[in-house]
Amino acid sequence: MANPIALQVKDLKTYFYNDQRCNKAVNGVSFEIEKGKTLCIVGESGCGKSVTASTIMQLLPTLSRIEEGEINYFAGDGENAPAIRIDQLERNGAEMRRIRGSEIAMIFQDPMTALNPAYTIGFQIGETLQYHTSLGKKEIRQKTIQLLADMGIPLPERRVDEYPHQYSGGMRQRAMIAMAMACQPKILIADEPTTALDVTIQAQIFELMDDLKKSNNTAILLITHDMGVVAELADSVAVMYMGNIVEAGTVEEVLGQPRHPYTRALLQSIPVLGKGRNQRIAAIRGSTPDAYDRPVGCQFEPRCDFASPDCSSMPDEQNLSDTHRLRCWHPQRDSGSE
Ligand SMILES: Nc1ncnc2c1ncn2[C@@H]1O[C@H](COP(=O)(O)OP(=O)(O)O)[C@@H](O)[C@H]1O
Ligand SMILES: [Mg+2]
């Protein structure tokens, strides 16, 4: 039986405005994450993954606006009604501030989004623990050191009293992850949390996230480029392209029976070591269109080998199973197109 829902996003649209021009960065995204499950969002750079995450956190970049949609956060255990409901008319800022960092936490792509340069790492993690737990001063310090040790930070007893600028980039990232996990959130959003970290530490951090999911029933939204990570950690997968989810389903459905030409190309591409996360996906010809001048129909049409005149209108979403969703005029099968 399905678990209760932790986070529900319905037809979310977040647009950027610049000199009368509009970038439909997130253009009608819907998904749900059950308690104790991990949803991975994958897709090329610029497709709207981070904007989706910051919209859910209600930490929107300047010049952007939620145009439409609804976000429901079900924070407590076994409740049916959402703890907070946000639609484009009502932002619910005060409520959101209360749950941010306790019920819902985010690991950002850039650690300095979350860390304050003026305070020691220990103080910042301790502050989170103090605010959200009933631990005493001494226990907080012990717990903070333990969290840093868990993240593979060397000499945590000494490092705890250092400032962010005394940490390397990778260590800052780990300190931020420690802070996000400190209060055992019910919803954890992790935006490419381990880029810049070496594989051993990556594996360690993913294991800690998985532990949190199991012990605390945390729902995890994990944004990643790494299909290996998806295969290992995801319960379900959503593939994004230019602001839309083009295919979504269980990890078995999306990785095992991909039906969208884009998903298939994504799975064929092998990342090149050392090229970083902005590398273009080798198996797909062309590049993503100008975000301020998008195709009117299927966004993938200009790059798709199976494009036909149908593709100049946006395909509706179709359900291939209870969990497998697809937005494409030409679903693929292993034996060729339908
Ligand atoms: N702060 C910002 N100001 C203006 N445009 C932005 C900003 N952040 C993202 N965008 C635009 O929104 C779209 C989605 O970006 P983003 O969500 O960051 O992609 P990614 O999938 O790589 O995380 C892109 O077209 C990007 O240029
Ligand atoms: Mg991003």
For 5-15, how does the pLDDT look when each residue is reduced to its tens digit (9 = 90+)? Answer: 999 999 999 99
Would the CB of 25 count as within 6 Å of ligand 1?
Answer: yes
- 42 dihedral zone (left: phi>0; alpha: psi -120 to 50; beta): beta
* pLDDT-above-70 percentage for the chain: 90
User: Averaged over 254-273, what is the pLDDT?
Assistant: 84
pTM, whole model, 2 decimals? 0.90
- Structure-block tokens of residue 260: 């969208």
Q: What is the largest CA-CA distance in the chain?
A: 68
Q: Are 256 and 281 in contact (CB under 8 A)?
A: no
Which parts of the chain are beta strand (E)?
A: 5-18, 21-34, 38-42, 64-73, 84-87, 104-107, 187-191, 219-223, 236-241, 244-250, 318-319, 325-326, 332-333, 336-337
The overall average pLDDT reported for the chain is 88
- 63 dihedral zone (left: phi>0; alpha: psi -120 to 50; beta): left
The confidence score (pLDDT) of residue 82 equals 67
Spell out the domains of the chain, with CATH numbers in brackets: 1-103+188-201+220-338 (3.40.50.300), 113-184 (no CATH)
The confidence score (pLDDT) of residue 337 equals 47
Strands 236-241 and 244-250: antiparallel
Q: What is the per-residue pLDDT across 5-55, written as a single tens digit (0 to 9) for each?
A: 999 999 999 999 998 899 999 999 999 999 999 999 999 999 999 999 999
The pLDDT-based confidence of 96 (bands split at 50, 70, 90) is confident
209 CA → ligand 1 middle, Å: 26
Which ligand has an atom closest to residue 191 CA? 2
Q: What is the per-residue pLDDT across 290-334, written as a single tens digit (0 to 9) for each?
A: 999 999 999 999 999 999 999 999 999 999 999 999 999 999 987
Between CA 177 and CA 163 the distance in angstroms is 16
Return the ligand 1 atom nearest residue 191 CA.
23
Return the ligand 1 atom nearest residue 43 CA.
21
Residue spans of alpha helices (H) in 23-112: 49-56, 93-99
| Residue count (the chain) | 338
**pLDDT(111) > 90:** no
The residue to mutate among 14, 15, 16, 225, having the most atoms of ligand 1 within 8 angstroms of its beta carbon, is 16
How far CA 220 is from CA of 48, 105, 159, 186, 250, in Å, comes to: 18, 10, 28, 8, 14
Q: What is the per-residue pLDDT across 154-208, written as a single tens digit (0 to 9) for each?
A: 999 999 999 999 999 889 989 999 999 888 899 999 999 888 788 888 888 898 8
Return the ligand 1 atom nearest residue 109 CA.
23
